Amino acid sequence: MRTREAETAHSQARECALATPRPRTLRNPTSSIPSMPTTISTETLVIDGINITLSWKSGVRAMRIRILSPDAKAVATAPLHTSRSQVIQFLTSRSEWMHRAIKKVKSAPRPAPSTFDDGDTVWLFGLPYKLRLQASPGKKKEIYISGDEIILTLPPTTTAPQRRRLLHEFFKQRLAIALDVYMRDYTAKLQCCPIPYRIMSRRSVWGTFHPATRTIIFNLQLIHVAPAYIQYIVLHEMTHQYVAAHNAAFYRRIAALMPDWRERRRALQQFARTHPII
């Protein structure tokens, strides 16, 4: 049975999967949105043998510590008005919790990523496809979907990293089609200006909204999950243009356009835990 504390550790670790870390640079103090949490400086502290990345922030009221998944990295934030001794006291008082949370995140079962061999299962928009490798006589490289198979035609000398690169390019093109649809849809519903985005391979975040450049980075791994979950991530990141924190106001805005966001988020987290992705 989980303790209440462990529950908190679990939910915080998972919540981090959707966190949008602020850039660790000094921001313009005359920013037009003074209430946005802004990192003023970052340092590393060692408390009870745990390396903690501490960010001093303006626009936050309370100290916070999180253990990020999947690397079990400890990150803390402290409001500017807090003294250093208060921060150390706070972190020391949470050291037992941190050790438990780190152990929990590290021991969480994670499926091995695909090596993209013939017969491997590759998930595309929440559906399984069998990967079929075919040798091409020349230098021809081709990928297409046929029924429930992804056919990859390559020269016989192609290595696993080359297969991965080719598949990633294919995933990127497919994911962009879905993202374009959802981005356009929510741009109209939110009546906002279009937000440029990029797709990158990330390890622990589905998406990141960068307020300074007003751009979004989406994780390439989204290609593997059902469209309903991609849609949630799009709305989640776009909502960060209005509210930086994951607070009640933030989720109220999401719920206004997606009443079942909570179920989608839960299902997405469950999918990521149980399926081999990139």
Neighbouring C-alpha atoms within 13 Å toward the C-beta of 161: 0
CB of 246 to Zn ion, least distance (A): 6
Interaction of residue 269 with Zn ion, rule CB under 5 A = no
Residue nearest to Zn ion (CB): 20
Read off the tokens for 201.
């391979």
Packing angle, helices 84-93 and 95-107, rounded to 10: 60
Residue closer to Zn ion, measured from CB, 224 or 265: 265
Residue closer to Zn ion, measured from CB, 131 or 233: 233
Please give the angle made by the CA atoms of 63, 68 and 70, to the nearest 5 degrees: 175
CB of 134 to Zn ion, least distance (A): 41
Q: Is-cis flag, bond preceding 196, omega within 30?
A: no
Residues of this chain, 99-138, that bind Zn ion according to CB under 5 A: none
Neighbour count for residue 217 (Cβ, 10 Å): 17
CB of 267 to Zn ion, least distance (A): 17
CB of 23 to Zn ion, least distance (A): 14
Read off the tokens for 28.
């313009």
Residue closer to Zn ion, measured from CB, 18 or 76: 18
Residue closer to Zn ion, measured from CB, 171 or 261: 261
Q: What are phi and psi for residue 66, nearest 5 degrees?
A: -135, 150
Binding mask 18-37 toward Zn ion (x if CB under 5 A, else -) reads x-x-----------------
Calpha distance 225→267 (Å, rounded):
10
**Rg of the chain, C-alpha, whole Å:** 21
Nearest to 55 by CA among 72, 32, 38: 38
The residue type found at 100 is: R
CB of 28 to Zn ion, least distance (A): 22
CB of 130 to Zn ion, least distance (A): 34
Question: How many residues interact with Zn ion (rule CB under 5 A)?
Answer: 2
Residues of this chain, 149-178, that bind Zn ion according to CB under 5 A: none
Q: Which stretch binds Zn ion (CB under 5 A): 14-22, 28-36, 39-47, 127-135?
A: 14-22
Q: Where along the sequence are the contacts to Zn ion (CB under 5 A)? A: 18, 20
